[in-house]
Structure 1
Amino acid sequence: MLHELRTYTLTPGGTREYLRIYNEMGREVQTRLLGNLVTLLTPESGDLNQLVFLWAFENYEERVRRRAQLMTDPVFMEFRKAVRPLMVQQESRLFNPA
C-alpha cells in the first residue's frame, strides 16, 4: 500500500472557492480515475488556507498509471485551469506503511 499526501496552499480566502469548483468540476473525475480518496482535510491550526488530500494506491506503479490517466482527461484539465488562480503552492509526499 502506498499513500500520497497532497497539500494545496491557496490564496487567502481561496479554500471555499476551490472547494466549490472542485465539487462542481473536479471531484467526480478525480475520484473515478485516481480511486481511493481516503480523506480531504482543512487545517484548523498551523498553516491555513490549505487543503490536504490523502490518497491510497496499491503500489507506486498504480499511482503513476492513474495519475497519467488523470492528466490526459479533458474535464480534469478544465478543472485545473479554473482553480489555477487560487493556487499558491502544491506539495506531494509519498508514504509506505511502517
Structure 2
Amino acid sequence: MIVEERIYRIRSGKTSEYLKLVREKGLAIQEPILGGLIGYFVTEVGQLNQMVHLWRYADFADRVARRRTLSEDARWRVFIPKLTALIESAENRILLPTDFSPLQ
C-alpha cells in the first residue's frame, strides 16, 4: 500500500470557492475512479490557504492506472480547469507506511 499526499496552495480569498467545487462536483468524479480517499484537510496554523488530501493505493502501478483513468474522464477534463484556476501551487508526495504504521 502507498499513500499519495497532495498539497495545494489556494489563491488568497478562494478557499471557500475551492472547497465548494470539490464538495459539490470534484469528489463525485474522483472517488469512484481513485477510491481510497483517506482524508481532505485545510491548514489552520503554519502555511495558510493549503489543502492537503491523502489517497490510498494498492501500489504505484495502481495509482498510475487510476490517475490515467481520471485524466481521460470527460467530466474531469471539463471540471479540472475550474479547479486549477484557484490553485497557486501544487506538491505531491508518495508515502510508504512503516512496518508499525496502523495504515498498511
* TM-score, normalised by the number of residues in structure 2: 0.90
Query: How far apart in 2 are the matches of 1:25 and 1:79?
Result: 8
Offset, 1:84: 2.1
Q: 1:46: which partner in 2?
A: 46
Query: How far apart in 2 are the matches of 1:2 and 1:59?
Result: 6
Q: 2:18: which partner in 1?
A: 18
Q: 1:85: which partner in 2?
A: 85
Contact 1:25 1:75 in 2 (8 A): no
Q: 2:64: which partner in 1?
A: 64
Q: Which letter maps to 1:68?
A: R
Contact 1:41 1:51 in 2 (8 A): yes
* TM-score, normalised by the number of residues in structure 1: 0.95
List gaps (5 residues or longer) in structure 1: none
Contact 1:31 1:37 in 2 (8 A): yes
Offset, 1:20: 0.8
Identity %: 35
| Greater radius of gyration (CA) | 2
User: C-alpha root-mean-square deviation of aligned residues, in Å?
Assistant: 0.8
> What SS does the corresponding residue of 1:52 show, helix, strand or coil?
strand
Give every structure 1 segment of 4 or more consecutive aligned residues whose post-TM-superposition deviation is greater than 3 Å: none
Aligned length: 98
Query: How far apart in 2 are the matches of 1:61 and 1:93?
Result: 15
List gaps (5 residues or longer) in structure 2: 99-104
Query: How far apart in 1 are the matches of 2:17 and 2:97?
Result: 34
Contact 1:22 1:79 in 2 (8 A): no
> What SS does the corresponding residue of 1:97 show, helix, strand or coil?
coil
Offset, 1:24: 2.1
